[in-house]
Structure 1
């Protein structure tokens, strides 16, 4: 038999500044080596190894081995959702440099949240999918607008969307075949974006869209960051979807 969830332990693991930076660095779903995570957190490799051991024991991260190398990743999308929720309620850190300011702005503009697209670009994409009837609102709402009772910065338990009449055509334009999606994961999931406070697409379909945009070079990952950029090719290809 199990007791109540040990929320205090999980919160304590996230509360240490270096560990929080590691979790933020991993929140885009990639697996990264300890050396890179040490640089991201601003600590020594020995120190980050200690932090990673604690987070492994606490179930926040998992490790993948490739030969002699070890790569760390979040243990699942629920950890990324927790990080996003904390980002919504946390006060922003003081910006002390132009580099920090630019990076913060880039995260608000477009970022990956575990394996799907978030930020202004993620919300604009969902707006476009609704506008072109690839997705339909089932509650009478407008575009990607958040409902009054939706939880802040969290995955929606009862998302008010369904595939629309133009789903096959529009998602096909994005390089996503709706008939070739893995069944192990729910196709349609949606989150409330912490920086925009509107909905963005997640779930298997959200992950497939990001994979396709990256493969087509419509989207580009910034090195060692969660922020992504829409390439000139992507801007041209998605212009009709994003601007209406």
Structure 2
């Protein structure tokens, strides 16, 4: 096929191990410097700069300057969604880079996926909102219902006041560890911000892990149902 989008070029950009490590590091949603990203990828700064230039030219990352420093971040939610889906495919095929350990347990329970909640708790929140009619799938579009607007408002989230963005209000995102969906989009981002602002959870420094404290876990369970205990 000689017409249509060139997926081979994008796949080649992501497929390089060093560039894949750079993109994975940016899944925290934070902007990082070239030296920080080179360290994450295990490569020299000179090599890292060459990879960053290719990723920027390919539209996968964006650079912004602050004083003398340059910071890089993912180009947007669409890129993050593709990376999360690829992580799900890799995990399903058994392509895991580390053995299961305590940190992996924390990652599976709750983590940030670019700017929204992922992991078991993110999947549980999404499933509960669908079951209760707060969200509705209409074709390939995920909608927030009127009941959902009332629910979100009861949490103190002002939908009209959310930052303007090209991202949809609600988007389904495949969770790589659970192999089920969690909530992305502007609402997914707002929900995670709410949990952190309420003091229920915090982000681990230098990691994608989101840690809920006991009070936050209890409040989350009250909203979205307690985690099912294994038989």
In structure 2, relative to structure 1, the CA distance for the partners of 1:36 and 1:232 (3 Å cut) is farther
- Give the alignment's TM-score, normalised by structure 2: 0.83
Deviates more, 1:170-179 or 1:22-31: 170-179
The equivalent of 2:140 in structure 1 is 157
- The Cα of 1:52 is off from its aligned counterpart by 0.9
Q: 1: distance between equivalents of 2:47 and 2:137?
A: 49
- The Cα of 1:205 is off from its aligned counterpart by 0.9
The equivalent of 2:109 in structure 1 is 109
SS of the residue corresponding to residue 96 of structure 2 reads: coil
- The Cα of 1:21 is off from its aligned counterpart by 0.9
The equivalent of 2:152 in structure 1 is 171
Please tell me whether residue 191 in structure 1 is matched to residue 173 in structure 2.
Answer: yes
Q: 185, 209, 226: which is aligned to 1:203?
A: 185
Unaligned runs of 5+ in 2: 227-231
- The Cα of 1:167 is off from its aligned counterpart by 3.4
Contact persistence 1:174–1:209 (CA under 8 A): no
The equivalent of 1:220 in structure 2 is 202
CA RMSD after TM alignment: 2.6
Q: 1: distance between equivalents of 2:97 and 2:194?
A: 36
- Give the alignment's TM-score, normalised by structure 1: 0.79
Higher helix proportion, which one? 2
In structure 2, relative to structure 1, the CA distance for the partners of 1:13 and 1:175 (3 Å cut) is same
Number of positions where the alignment pairs a residue of Structure 1 with one of Structure 2: 221
- The Cα of 1:130 is off from its aligned counterpart by 4.1
In structure 2, relative to structure 1, the CA distance for the partners of 1:34 and 1:217 (3 Å cut) is farther
Q: 1: distance between equivalents of 2:135 and 2:77?
A: 25
Unaligned runs of 5+ in 1: 140-155
